[in-house]
Structure 1
Amino acid sequence: MKKKLWMTYGMLTLATATWGSAFIAGKLAVQSFEPSTVAFIRFLGAAILLFPIMWVMEKNRKKPTIKDLGLFAILGLTGIALYNICFFIATKHAPVIKSSLFIASNPVLIVLLSGLFLKETITKNHVVGMIIALSGATYIITDGHIIDLFKLGFEPIDFVLLGAVVSWAIYSVVGKVVLKKYSSVESTTYAVAFGTLFLLPFALADTTWHDITQANVMTWLAIAHMSIFVTVISFIMYYYGIKQVGAAKASIFINVMPVSAVLMATFFLGETLTTAHAIGAILVLSGVFIGTNPSLFKRKWLKKNTAA
C-alpha cells in the first residue's frame, strides 16, 4: 500500500512538473496565435489522441447519463476552456511574477472547496505543508524579493488571473466527484472534448487562415508539446492522483510547477538559477513532504513524549 502511495506521489510530481513547461511553450505559441486559438488547437490535438486511448484502455466503459454529461461539461468549461483562456491571456499580458504567484495559490482555494463541498478532512499537515510550499513558490517567483509583489499593485489583468485560479479549483473539486464513477482516462477525455467545443467559437472569431499558414515550426512544436505531454499524459496522471489521495492533498503538488518552470527556463531560455530559486525549491519540496505525510507531527510528538 505504501509503495502504491509513493508511486501516486511520483505521478503527481511528474504531472505538475510537466505543467511548468506550459509557461515556456505558451509564451512561444501566443506569438503566432491569440490565447483562445492556442487553447483550442492544444485541446483539439489532445482530444484526437485521448479518444483512441480511452477506447483501448477502457473496454467496459459506462454510458454517461445526462447528469454525468452535465458534470463533464462543467469540467470542460472550467478546467479546459476558462482556465486556459485566462492562462494564455496572462502569459501574453501579465508579468510572470504576478501570473505565477496566482497559479501557485491554487492549492489554497482547492483545499477550502474540498473541505466545504467534498467534506474532505483538512489536517494540520495539509495547512502547514500548503503554507510552506506556497512560501517557497512565492520566494522562487519573486527571486527572493517578496516586497516586489506589493510594488506591482492591482491591475485589471488580476481579474483574469483570479478567473484562472477559481476555474482550476472548481475543476479539481468537481473532478473528484466524477472520479467516483469514471476512470482518470475517461474523465480527462470527456472533459477535454467538452472544453474543445466550448473553445471552438472563440478560436473561429480570433483566427484567420492566414494566421495558421504563417505560424512557424516552433509554434506548432510548442502546441504539440502542450497537447501530448502537458494535457494527455499529465492530466491523466493528475486525475489518477486525485482519485487516490483526494483533491486537497493532490493540490499541494501544484507548487512543484513554479520550481519546474524556473528550472526549464534556466536550461532552455538561458535564465540564471539563483540562490533564491534553490531556497524556494527546498521550501516547496519540504511543504509537499509535510502535506503528504499525515502522521508526521503525530510521530514526532509520540517520540518526544516517549523519551520523556
Structure 2
Amino acid sequence: MIAYLLLILTPLFWAGNHVAAKGVADIADPLLMAFLRWGLAFLILLPFWLPKAIRQWPIIKAHFPLLFWLSLTSVGCFNTFIYLGVETTTATNTTLMHAIIPVLILLLNRLFFKESVGGLQWLGIAASLMGVLVLITQGELQRIASLHLNPGDVWILAAIVTWALYSITLKFKPKELEPFTFFGLSVLIGLLVIFPFALFEQGGFVVPTLETPVWAVVVYIAIFPSILSYSFWNRGVAQLGASTAGLFIYLIPVFGTLLSILVLNETMHSFHLIGIALIVLGIWLAVVRRVIAGIRQNRIKTVN
C-alpha cells in the first residue's frame, strides 16, 4: 500500500515542478533556476554521497563517458529545457506533452536498437504524435507550414526528446554502480554543465537578487521533485516492478492540468481535450496494452 502511495506522490511532485517554475517564470531566469535547484539538492546530498562516490570511483572512472552522457541528458538538459519552455508556454501544455514520453521511448528503441514494434503500436505512435502536434499548434495544424510555433512548446518537446534518449541509454549504466551514487554524480555533472550557461545568462559573476517566492520555489523543487521523488520512485519500482510503476507516469498530465487550473488559473481549451484524447489513445495502443498483458502473464506464471 505504501509503495502505491509513493508512486502517486512522485508524479504529483514532478507536476508541481512544472507548475511552480511557471509561477515564477516572470521573475526568475530559467538557467539560474536550474542551477539553484540542483545546487541546493547537491548540497543536501553531499555528506551522504561523497563517501559512496569515493568508494566507487574506479567504476565511475571506467564508465565516465557513458555516465557523462546520462547526466547531460537528464540533469543537464531535461529540466533546464523545461524551465526555458515555461517562460512562453503554459504549465498545462508542459505536463500534457510529458504523456508522450513512453511512446517516444518505444519509437527510439525501434530506431536505434531495432526492437520490434507491432501494427497497433505504430498506430499508437502516430496518434500520440498527432496529439502533440495539436497541443503545440493550439489546434491550428497550418502553423506547421508557416513555422509559427510557440517557442516554449518547442523547448518542452526538446526536453521530452532528451529524456527519451536518456531512458533508452540508461540500460547501459553499469549495474555495479549504486543508484544513489549514480544520482549524486548526475547532479554534480549536470551542475557543471549548467553553470557556464547560467553565468552567461547573468552577465558574469554576480549575486542574484531573488524575491521570496523564487527562493520558496527553489527549496520546493530541490527537495520534492528532485530528492524525494527519486527516492520514492526507486522504492516503488523495487516493490512493484518497473512495468507497474511506469503506468504512474501518466498521472503527471492529470496532476499538472489540475494544478495549473487551481494554482495558475490557466484555462482548458478544446484543443487541449483533442490533444489529450489522441495522446491517451496512442499510449493505450502503443504501451499500456502491452504492459498490462505482461503483468497478467507474470501473475499467471507465479500462480502456476
Question: Normalised by the size of structure 1, how large is the TM-score?
Answer: 0.71
Aligned twin of 2:49 = 54
Instruction: Report the AA paired with residue 25 of structure 2.
Output: V
Is 1:150 aligned with 2:116? Answer: no
Point out the more displaced range, 253-262 or 41-50.
253-262
- CA apart distance, 1:22: 1.3
- CA apart distance, 1:236: 3.8
Give the unaligned 5+ runs of structure 1: 300-308
- CA apart distance, 1:78: 0.8
8 Å CA contact 1:33–1:207 kept in 2: the answer is no
Q: How does 1:71-150 map to 2 (within 5 A)?
A: 71-96=66-91, 98-114=93-109, 127=121, 148=139, 150=141
Is 1:212 aligned with 2:211? Answer: no
Point out the more displaced range, 237-246 or 81-90.
237-246
Instruction: Report the AA paired with residue 99 of structure 2.
Output: A
**Per-residue deviation, residues 144-179 of structure 1 (Å, max 9, x unmatched):** xx9726366442725433321221112222333226
Point out the more displaced range, 31-40 or 171-180.
171-180
Distance in 2 (alpha carbons) for counterparts of 1:249 and 1:122: 20
Give the unaligned 5+ runs of structure 2: 299-304
Aligned twin of 1:165 = 160
Aligned twin of 1:66 = 61
Point out the more displaced range, 16-25 or 191-200.
16-25
**Per-residue deviation, residues 230-270 of structure 1 (Å, max 9, x unmatched):** 11121344456677845x87655433211111222344335
Aligned twin of 1:302 = none
Instruction: Report the AA paired with residue 148 of structure 1.
Output: G
Distance in 2 (alpha carbons) for counterparts of 1:98 and 1:149: 15
Alignment CA distance shift 1:86-1:149 (3 Å): farther
Aligned twin of 2:292 = 293
Instruction: Report the AA paired with residue 294 of structure 1.
Output: A
8 Å CA contact 2:16–2:259 kept in 1: the answer is yes
What RMSD in Å do the two structures reach over aligned CA positions?
4.6
- CA apart distance, 1:27: 1.3
- CA apart distance, 1:20: 0.5
8 Å CA contact 2:92–2:260 kept in 1: the answer is no
Distance in 2 (alpha carbons) for counterparts of 1:152 and 1:17: 32
Distance in 2 (alpha carbons) for counterparts of 1:29 and 1:253: 27
Distance in 1 (alpha carbons) for counterparts of 2:288 and 2:157: 27
SS at match of 2:293: coil
Aligned twin of 1:187 = 182
Aligned twin of 1:264 = 259
Distance in 2 (alpha carbons) for counterparts of 1:268 and 1:156: 22
Aligned twin of 2:36 = 41
- CA apart distance, 1:40: 0.8
Instruction: Report the AA paired with residue 105 of structure 1.
Output: I
Point out the more displaced range, 169-178 or 19-28.
169-178
Distance in 2 (alpha carbons) for counterparts of 1:159 and 1:113: 19
- CA apart distance, 1:123: 8.4
> When the two structures are aligned, how many residues end up with a matched partner?
285
- CA apart distance, 1:81: 1.5
Distance in 2 (alpha carbons) for counterparts of 1:238 and 1:264: 21
Aligned twin of 1:227 = 222
8 Å CA contact 2:17–2:225 kept in 1: the answer is yes
Question: Normalised by the size of structure 2, how large is the TM-score?
Answer: 0.71
Point out the more displaced range, 45-54 or 10-19.
10-19
Q: What is the identity percentage for the equivalent residue pairs of Structure 1 and Structure 2? A: 24
Alignment CA distance shift 1:149-1:194 (3 Å): farther
Aligned twin of 2:26 = 31
